[in-house]
Structure 1
Amino acid sequence: MSESGWLAWCVPQQPSSKLVVPCMFLLMGYTLMVVPLLQERVILLECNSYYTEIGRNMTPPFPIVDPDDKRCRDSTIESRAATVSMYLAIVVGVMSVLTTGTLGAISDRIGRRPAMLIPLAGAMLQACGLSLTHYLDASYPYLFIPQAIYGLMGGPSAFLMATFAYSADCSNPAKRSSEIGMLESSLFLGGTIGPLLGGYLSSAYDMNVPLFVFGGLLVPVVIWIVIIPESLTPERRVSAIQWRRANIFGALSILLSANSYGDRWILPALGASFAMMFNSVVGFASVMVLYTKLEFDWGQSTNGLFMAVNWLIKGLAIAILLPFLLLRCRKYVTEARIALVCLICMMLAFLLYAFAVNTTMFFMISLVDAIGYIAVPVMRGLFSMNVRVDQQGAVFAAIASIEAIFTVVSPVLFNSIYSATTDSQSNAALLVMASGIVIPLLLGIYLLRTDRNTRTFVAKASTYTGADTEPLLAEEAKPRPFNLSGEYEHAGYVDPGRFLDSDSPRTSLVSNGNRISTDSVTDASLYSSRSSRSRVAFGNSARASGLEDVASWEGNINSSPQLPSTRDSSVWD
């Protein structure tokens, strides 16, 4: 085999969501492995500092080198360590808020891979900085420096934004939520294995060993991202970086615009629903350790086991149940309906956690919790389906900004609630989390309106085998004239719910040599009032007149003798 043949065999030729799954797995495994290591380091530093201050319990071995030393099991030390750990997490969140919008705007202009490489570089610098502080036995203020570097380079929020946008770029719209779910599943599986492996290596060898192992594994991830094909083709990139959206407020501004169907309230409703839901999710993670220690006397090992089991079940639920619903039961369910049912399960899970009476019951509730968390990838898919193809980076930057904001706000909010109600109502924080899901539920009922826009398109796209699919997207504010000249690589099926405005000029779409032409195609809501319209011609310029409704339109599409053979089917996952 020639050198070029070997290169073609080793290097992927087409973008695919599956290409970034191992990247998500390893980076999130590293990110969540660092959390308990940082906590152990802070406990160790606070323990030595505390006994040096009071001048007691300084018998050998001193300084204390083991965070599990019984001398470190003091309420004052644990309280101080918890405060410092919270500030370390806040630093990453605050810095991510400052940079995620910028990376989102850049990714819509130059591609997704640079937006993935920058957070990866930040993670490797963080690993080096934490190893150096441990090696030099530096005090805990120096731990803030590698945390700030990781946050300024985007942190995990920016990496999630870029990978989800990469998946949205190259996935069939009918399968987009399923593909996003696959990435979300790898996030949870990486978050399960990372802390377990990191804890074993740290206890068996040294704290620096897991940092070296995971930091080293990020090097081939960087090389892999460099060689995989870019998902955002030049034709689909914005003409210039939109600097007005390169900040936290600009990144969120896309949620105040109309969706690709002209509905001005869908994106705001999605944004509010996701924010309230994510607030409760992060809040649970922030108080779970304190709550279970108080109610069930859990130690570090039991908490670690619960987190591993909980994350594993969530990862498996998203990997198995979500594709089954979206691909096998598409005739009966839509993304909005799945999200609504899952939000009900999430609220039920928080209520059950609040009234759990023993350890076994608390573990079993993870099954309900896992079903509830399916709402997260489904809502990401709904965001993606309601914006234009050149806005994928912007909308995922908005989601990442929401996540970064509540990564900072939620721990402070729910730790304050928990501290204020520990003596009177210890489960009050969990009840507040459950009540916080009421707003997403109410907005979710409104989001069922999206079914009318997407049901026809998704049903056809999921069953159509003659060509790959991509929606013909309208302009941002309202259906109005636009021109997609040149190559529109994913064209193959035009959704009747996404017609152009009646005054739009003739539009030509080229798909791998097959011209798709439209002539004054009208919006679906106005279609029945017009007597004569030109229809989309797949591979020809045929005309149809007197089409009175969308059903007639769909019938003509189904009976069209020529369908485009877009790109090779291997492009789509």
Structure 2
Amino acid sequence: MVMSSSPTQAQSSSQHVNSASETTPLLNNAPDASDGSTGDIRPWYRRPSPLHVVLPLVGTVFSYSVSLVPIQQFMLMYLCGRYLAVKEGQAGTAALGSILSSDSINDLPSFAKCREIPDVQALAAKWQMILTLSTSVPALLATPLIGALSDRAGRKPVFFLPILSGLIGSLAILAVAQFDFGLWILILVHLLQGCMGGDLAIVMITFAYIADVTTAETRSKVFVTIEALTFISFTIGPYCGGVLTRVLPSGVIGVVYVTIIGQLLTVVYVTLCLPESLTPPKRSVTDPGLSTPAAKPSVLATLISFGPVVRVVSKPPRIYLLSLVFITSTCVGGIALFFYYASYRFGWDAYDEGVFMLYASGTRVFWMMGIATILYKVFAGERHGESETETSLRKVRLDVRIVRIGMLVLAGGWILLGLASASWMVYAVTFWNGIGTLAKPTIRSLLSRSVPPALQGRLFSTIQVTDQVATIFSNLVFPPIWAASVGGPYPGLFLQIIGGLFCIAAFIACAFIKVGDIANGFHGNIPVSVDAEKGTEEVVLDAETDGGERDAENAAA
């Protein structure tokens, strides 16, 4: 972060390069020819575009999700086997659920028997909490470094981290299931996964990649499309995993082998086919004599440069948008227990859960790629005789309404899910909950327009850190609630609490997020300069900049 000593310095520094604005394409290789071309002589399939990240994103998410529910079923059966062994006096000296125990259960009991035992359900929730926290806590510390590293070293190298993270997680399950390792190995592996950003750090890197290769005007639509593809991958995977548990001779463990194959194929694609989206900033044409190669800032300097992002997102309305990210991610952490709830309440196994998630995916695609596309075309498309400012303002107004409606729908929907007494009720409520899935990518889009291109990676790592903090919080809250209520008259209590959190989010969205505040808080208010000698982009923040931004926000209010 550069602190300019005077308004004159801030103005002179911005003369070397155009400042980022709402209508400026967020590309470091922006068009520089009179015909609008980028000067990139590579074939079209080697030029970075949102299409290039679809395969690694879908491949990673699908590989993760195809084994997600089978692994939960495996853990329930594995812990049930140990529970029954203790009851029958066949266990060793280690206490049930002990981290240090190396006991292995090769002959798993039936799932139908295990799912009905409240103590086993509570034990499974305990272990899910332990493993999730083992990933989330180190990921909270590693995510800022990964985001900064992606801004410094490029997006492509960082893509390998979440892919390899998922691979070692799959190998750890095999170690427990087939090679007589105890559950302690999962603790170590999840700690390592957290240091690599976790399995789903792929989402953070993907959105940073997309921010490099899209304009501000098209980004919301691209984000919604990518979010829809993520949902498709995340929900088709469990269905396929459920089918495989019934088809493969080795059941849930055979699914893990399928996952490993998918993860290896994704590594090959990223290595051979994925083009880098982040290129060094171009030197000013007014300095033709410069011939030294562009120098990259140090890692320490890159980490310190999180300061501009923090200062930007800590101001209204961005802080309110970030609070919605936190609440939504907290609720998602609680939803991870839904398989245990459905198995106990409705008798669902991995296949039934997979069918449900496939249906949920279909409803989300209907809302995100069907209804959302119509909404943006009708209410946010360009109109004859309308200025760019008016079009942009109309689009922001639509985005804000989508966020508000989404939070309200999710609040009511999850409360109703906690009261559902039959499977068909779950399906009916889930369809209407699909409206709420439009909210999260829209929030990301609004936040991405709050910082210039040089800070996009750090912005999305900040969002990822928020996700990790929310995950830690949710895993300290929801598993104990499920463990305490599973044998009582209100097993859906944690779902109703999720609905209550969305009520808080709806209040924030309706009371504090204003269209005028967002329209005057775009990254165009943040001066960006390029040091031609160093080849680096820097954000210029000073008292005058902050004051000008406050004046704009006050005027909008």
The verdict on a shared fold, with TM-score over 0.5 as the criterion, is: yes
Identify the residue that residue 459 of structure 2 maps to in structure 1. 395
1:272-321 deviation line (CA, Å, top 9, x unaligned) = 121112212322332x3444455555555434432332233224422323
Q: For structure 1, which segment, 102-111 or 78-87, has the greater mean C-alpha deviation from structure 2 after superposition?
A: 78-87
The change in CA–CA distance for 1:116 and 1:447 in structure 2 (over 3 A counts) is farther
Cα deviation, residue 103, structure 1: 0.1
Shift of residue 122, structure 1, vs aligned partner: 2.0
1:257 is aligned with what amino acid? R
* Equivalent runs, 1:448-487 vs 2, <5 Å: 448-451=513-516, 454=519, 473-475=524-526, 483-484=529-530
- Give the conservation status (yes or no) of the 8 Å contact 1:14–1:229: yes
Matching residue of 2:51: 18
2:5 corresponding residue in structure 1: none
- Aligned CA distance change for structure 1 residues 133 and 324 (closer, same or farther; 3 Å): same
In structure 1, how many angstroms separate the alpha carbons of the residues matched to 2:245 and 2:195?
Answer: 27
Distance in 2 of aligned mates of 1:405 and 1:189: 25
CA distance, structure 2, for counterparts of residue 191 and residue 317 of structure 1: 16
Q: CA offset at residue 92 of structure 1?
A: 2.0
**2-structure distance, mates of 1:57, 1:295:** 30
Identify the structure with bigger relative contact order (alpha carbons < 8 Å, sequence gap 6+).
2
Q: Deviations over 1:423-461 (max 9, x none)?
A: 465444333222222333233236643456549x9xxxx
- Contact 1:105-1:394 within 8 A present in 2 as well: yes
Determine which of 300, 311, 324 is the counterpart of 1:257.
Answer: 311
- Measure the CA separation in 1 of the matches of 2:80 and 2:207: 41
Worse-matched range after superposition: 78-87 or 377-386: 78-87
* Letter of the structure 2 residue corresponding to residue 271 of structure 1: L
2:174 to 124, 131, 151: 131
Which of 151, 159, 167 is the matching residue for 2:210?
167
Confirm or deny: 8 A CA contact 1:20 1:163 kept in the other structure: yes
Structure 2 counterpart of 1:268, from 319, 340, 343: 319
Instruction: Verify: 1:432 aligned to 2:497, yes or no.
Output: yes
Once the two structures are superposed, residues 406-436 of structure 1 have per-residue CA deviations (whole angstroms, 9 ceiling, x without a partner) of 2232133123334455646544433322222
Give yes or no for contact 2:201–2:464 (8 Å, CA) kept in 1: yes
Match for 1:403: what amino acid? D
1:91 and 1:151 in contact (8 A); partners too? yes
CA gap 1:158/1:303 in 2 versus in 1, 3 angstroms: closer
Q: State the alpha-carbon separation in 1 of the partners of residues 233 and 366 from structure 2.
A: 12
In the TM superposition, 1:12-411 aligns within 5 A as 12-55=45-88, 65-68=107-110, 72-73=114-115, 74-203=117-246, 204-206=248-250, 207-226=252-271, 227-235=273-281, 239-241=296-298, 243=300, 246=303, 256-258=310-312, 264-286=315-337, 288-293=338-343, 295-296=345-346, 298=348, 301-330=351-380, 333-411=397-475
Deviation at 1:131, TM superposition (A): 2.7
Paired residue secondary structure (1:12)? helix
Contact 1:276 1:436 in 2 (8 A): yes
Match of 1:441 in 2: 506
Once residues 472 and 461 of structure 2 are traced to their aligned partners in structure 1, the CA distance between those partners, rounded to angstroms, is: 17
Separation of aligned partners in 2, 1:71 and 1:17:
47
Q: Highest Rg: 1 or 2? A: 1
Indicate conservation of the 8 Å contact 2:75/2:124, yes or no.
Answer: yes
Residue 243 of structure 1 deviates from its aligned partner by 3.7
Aligned partners of 1:100 and 1:157 also within 8 Å: no
TM-score by length of 2: 0.73
| Number of residue pairs aligned between Structure 1 and Structure 2 | 463
| Residue identity matched to 1:473 | G
Residues 157 and 400 in structure 1, CA contact (< 8 A), matched pair in contact too: no
Counterpart Cα distance in 2 of 1:484 and 1:80: 55
Alpha-carbon spacing, 1:426–1:193, altered in 2? closer, same or farther (3 Å): closer
Q: Percent identity?
A: 21
What is the aligned-residue RMSD (CA, Å)? Answer: 3.8
SS at match of 2:67: helix
Using the TM superposition, give the Cα deviation of residue 400 of structure 1 relative to its aligned residue in structure 2, in angstroms: 1.0
Residue 96 of structure 1 and its aligned partner are, at CA, apart by 1.8
SS class of match (1:230)? coil
- The TM-score, its normalising length taken from structure 1, stands at 0.71
Q: Give the deviation of 1:369 after TM superposition.
A: 1.0
TM-superposition CA deviations, 1:138-185 (whole Å, max 9, x none): 222223333333222111342211111101111121111111112211
Structure 1 residues 356 and 53: alpha-carbon distance in aligned structure 2, compared to 1, 3 A threshold: closer
**Residue 371 of structure 1: CA displacement?**
0.7
Q: How many angstroms apart in 1 are the aligned matches of 2:491 and 2:59?
A: 36
Query: 1:125 corresponds to which letter in structure 2?
Result: I
Residue 107 of structure 2: SS of its match in structure 1?
Answer: coil
Q: Distance in 1 between matches of 2:350 and 2:361?
A: 16
Unaligned runs of 5+ in 1: 1-6, 458-470, 488-499, 505-521, 530-549, 551-573
- Superposition deviation, residue 485 in structure 1: 7.3
- Contact 2:242 2:351 survives alignment (8 Å): no
Q: Which amino acid aligns with 2:506?
A: L
* Cα distance in 2 for residues equivalent to 1:386 and 1:160: 19
Give distance in 2, aligned partners of 1:245 and 1:53.
Answer: 53
Q: Supply the AA of the counterpart residue of 2:53.
A: V
